[in-house]
């Protein structure tokens, strides 16, 4: 009798899964479970110290769990987006478990005490109460970074092409680049603040220096590594030096150029924080310094997460741009 009941239940479950679009995404179910666990721990266990936005954090984690539960049965129908979600399935599970452990160690047990550590709802409370100041700091940081990074990349690219193409220019320029390159950009802070009329212009110079040097070095290496046979063939067909530079040398060196841009992006963010800590009135670096002085470490962690997300987004956009420009090298890179 029990076997008959078991067969019927199995058949009913199979029909239900077929109706919902089986196979079921297992990691989605596990992710939903881990996020429900994080919500339950946050809501039902008492806090050692009262934190703001506890209820809101519980609601948000429950919403996340509900989304993963729906995706567990529907993600296969989402095409390319669904494949990406499935690829990161184990990460979603680990994030739910990490939120649970983070909550227990900080708010529930106090093993990571205030003010040095903050639970997830502490960071959420910062975003809810201080969002206007954070947005202003993001805008100031974006302006400073954009001026410094793009000017540094442009100067580094032009200088790198000149270094890789002209032996005379490389004779004078490469020793200087090798001398300046190993020195951290932050070491030039005293000189920059003395030479430039304002801290804003000095900060632009420091960011440009940090982002431009790796671009210049790798661009020069890329131009210098171009197969000489390409030049010989182009010259045989009547190509001028201008044509050789813009149609042969630069396209062939683009993989190296993008490696330099990636390196410059990370270096620029590191210098950006240091530059904004010295004399800036707003910006994420200023925000970090200001809140560190008042031991508001929840605000510090919230700003660090914002910076990490911005940098990760820029890296993603850079990958898209690289894939578009270097589509002809598919399978080589």
CB 157 within 8 A of CB 257: yes
233 or 110, which is more confident? 110
CB 156 within 8 A of CB 214: yes
Per residue in 291-310, pLDDT (tens digit) is 888 888 999 999 999 999 99
Residue 330 has pLDDT above 80, yes or no: no
Kindly state the average pLDDT of the residues 247-269: 88
Residue 3 has pLDDT above 70, yes or no: no
Give percent of the chain with pLDDT exceeding 90: 44
- The 3 state secondary structure assigned to 158-224 is HHHHHHHHCHHHHHHHHHHHHHHCCCCHHHHHHHHHHHCCCHHHHHHHHHHHHHHHHHHHHHHHHHH
CB 43 within 8 A of CB 53: no
Per residue in 89-108, pLDDT (tens digit) is 999 999 999 999 999 999 99
CATH class given for the domain over 131-328? mainly alpha
- The domain ranges of the chain are 2-116, 131-328
Residue 322 has pLDDT above 80, yes or no: yes
Nearest C-alpha neighbor of 123 from the set 302, 305, 304: 302
d(C-alpha 211, C-alpha 263), whole Å: 7
d(C-alpha 312, C-alpha 196), whole Å: 31
Q: How many CB atoms lie under 10 A from the CB of residue 276?
A: 27
Kindly state the average pLDDT of the residues 52-73: 93
Would you give the DSSP letter of residue 21?
T
Give percent of the chain with pLDDT exceeding 70: 90
Kindly state the average pLDDT of the residues 189-203: 83
């Amino acid at each position: 009798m029990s076997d008959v009941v078991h067969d019927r239940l199995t058949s009913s479950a199979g029909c239900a899964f077929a109706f919902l679009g089986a196979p079921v995404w297992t990691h989605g179910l596990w992710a939903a479970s881990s996020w429900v666990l994080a919500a339950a721990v946050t809501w039902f266990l008492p806090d050692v110290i009262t934190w703001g936005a506890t209820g809101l954090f519980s609601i948000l984690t429950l919403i996340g769990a509900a989304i993963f539960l729906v995706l567990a049965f529907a993600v296969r129908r989402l095409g390319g987006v669904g494949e990406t979600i499935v690829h990161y399935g184990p990460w979603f599970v680990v994030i739910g478990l990490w939120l649970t452990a983070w909550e227990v160690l900080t708010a529930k047990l106090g093993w990571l005490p205030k003010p040095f550590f903050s639970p997830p709802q502490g960071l959420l409370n910062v975003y809810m109460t201080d969002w206007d100041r954070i947005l202003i700091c993001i805008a100031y940081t974006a302006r400073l970074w954009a001026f410094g990074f793009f000017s540094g990349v442009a100067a580094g690219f032009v200088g790198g092409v000149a270094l890789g193409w002209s032996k005379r220019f490389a004779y004078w320029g490469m020793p200087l680049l090798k001398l300046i390159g190993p020195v951290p950009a932050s070491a030039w802070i005293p000189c920059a603040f003395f030479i430039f009329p304002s801290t804003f212009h000095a900060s632009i110079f420091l960011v440009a220096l940090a982002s431009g040097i790796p671009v210049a070095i790798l661009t020069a290496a890329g131009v210098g590594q171009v197969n000489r046979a390409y030049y010989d063939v182009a010259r045989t067909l009547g190509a001028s030096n201008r044509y050789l530079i813009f149609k042969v040398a630069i396209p062939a060196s683009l993989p190296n150029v993008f490696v330099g841009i990636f390196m410059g992006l990370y270096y620029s963010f590191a210098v950006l924080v240091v530059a904004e800590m010295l004399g800036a009135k707003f910006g994420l670096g200023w925000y970090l310094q200001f809140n560190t002085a008042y031991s508001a470490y929840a605000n510090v962690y919230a700003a660090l997460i914002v910076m990490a997300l911005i940098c990760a987004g820029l890296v993603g956009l850079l990958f898209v741009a690289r894939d578009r420009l270097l589509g002809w090298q598919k399978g080589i890179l």
